[in-house]
Structure 1
Amino acid sequence: MNYEHAFVCGNPALDFAATLRARRTVRYEMFATPDRLDAWFLESGLVDEIAPADEADVEQAKEVREAIYALVTARHLGQKYDEGMLRRLNRAAGMPPATPQLTRTGRRTEATAEQALSTVARHAVELLGGPDVPLMKECENPECTRVYIDRSRGMRRQWCGMESCGNKFKAAAYRARKKTSPRAAAG
């Protein structure tokens, strides 16, 4: 069960919010089924084992994801938070989180979808109430709606990730330069 979700945003809550891709265009839903939600929780590293989610867990996850996205967007743009979105996020964050346990072989975290979702919501609370807010940027790919934490030197990062967006735009810019170069026009 590996769907290879992307974790390029620098914070689990931002990566979670990015599971609805291309919000301004074709909108691609990463949580189409319960097993895809389970896969995200496992691949994120927040849990080592997840109890199988059901459709109700998926709907709850989508609601919390949209609350995170709305609140991150508002904070990033310097706008007021929507009260309904605040309540939704805080309700999820108030549920029991995934709790790591020490075992003979190291740390292990087993959780239900609700516990894992609470953990994601708590990451969102910490992000939005913490020092990383000025480091939040939206990817410069006009089709991408990921918000990421820019910890690059001089805060000059433009893309959520080079593999996901940066390489596409660098290649497109190169092709455009080649097409409009004097040598290309003469040929």
Structure 2
Amino acid sequence: MNHVFLCGNPALDFACTVRARRTAYVEMLNAPDRLDAWFVESGVVDVVSSCGEADLVQAVALREAIYGLVTSRLAGDGYDDQALALVNETACEPPATPQLTATGRWVEATPAQVLSTLARHAIELLSGPEMPLMKECANPECTKLFIDRSRGGRREWCGMESCGNKIKAAAYRARKKEAQTAGAR
């Protein structure tokens, strides 16, 4: 698997295909084949027809619109009209349709159908009961968004393997250094 899916919703995972937006901007969808891979690895579809450059441009525009709407909602700001229009227009297109086969669920789709499905996930998330559970990672270098379904609702990081361990290790080193400095006086 080349992509990470820890946000708790396909629309959030899609919005987070850019890493470290504020610091070292890393684009994960930098070619049509990377978009193909993300669509399949995300589990939204089992097979997608090959994406072209135009599909990639549409996908990035939708991703940025979803990210903008989510961060606006988290900040308590109003929605950007263009982002709202793009998500709504994309959701109006036919979505990916699951089929039941002898071996289980199967979804085969075009890139436009996958984008419609992702836009619908974003709409459901932003207007549904999980909206209050949405957070941004507490690591100042990370810009991942996630749904906090932890029992106490106290999850701070997008994931322990990535940001949580880094922050905890840095805090430990800082405490240890402070104790050594205090002991040397």
**Coarse TM-score class (shorter-chain normalised):** over 0.9
Structure 1 residues 137-156: Cα deviation after superposition (integer angstroms, max 9, x where no partner)? 11000011111111112211
Determine which of 66, 69, 78 is the counterpart of 2:67: 69
Q: Which runs of 5+ in 2 are unaligned?
A: none
The TM-score normalised by the length of structure 1 is: 0.94
Determine which of 108, 119, 124 is the counterpart of 1:110: 108
Retained in 2: the 8 A contact 1:179–1:185?
Answer: no
Q: Which runs of 5+ in 1 are unaligned?
A: none
Q: How does 1:1-187 map to 2 (within 5 A)?
A: 2-3=1-2, 5-182=3-180, 186=184
SS at match of 1:154: coil
Q: Which amino acid aligns with 1:109?
A: V
Deviation at 1:97, TM superposition (A): 0.7
Retained in 2: the 8 A contact 1:7–1:44?
Answer: yes
Retained in 2: the 8 A contact 1:178–1:184?
Answer: no
Measured in 2, the distance between the counterparts of 1:87 and 1:136 equals 22
SS at match of 1:107: strand
Runs of 4+ in 1 over 6 A off after TM superposition: none
Measured in 1, the distance between the counterparts of 2:151 and 2:126 equals 22
Q: Which amino acid aligns with 2:157?
A: W
CA RMSD, 1 decimal: 1.5
Deviation at 1:182, TM superposition (A): 3.3
Measured in 2, the distance between the counterparts of 1:137 and 1:57 equals 29
Identity of paired residues, percent? 65
Q: How many residues align?
A: 185
The TM-score normalised by the length of structure 2 is: 0.95
Structure 1 residues 8-46: Cα deviation after superposition (integer angstroms, max 9, x where no partner)? 111111110000111111110000001111111111111
Measured in 2, the distance between the counterparts of 1:53 and 1:164 equals 30
Measured in 2, the distance between the counterparts of 1:182 and 1:39 equals 49
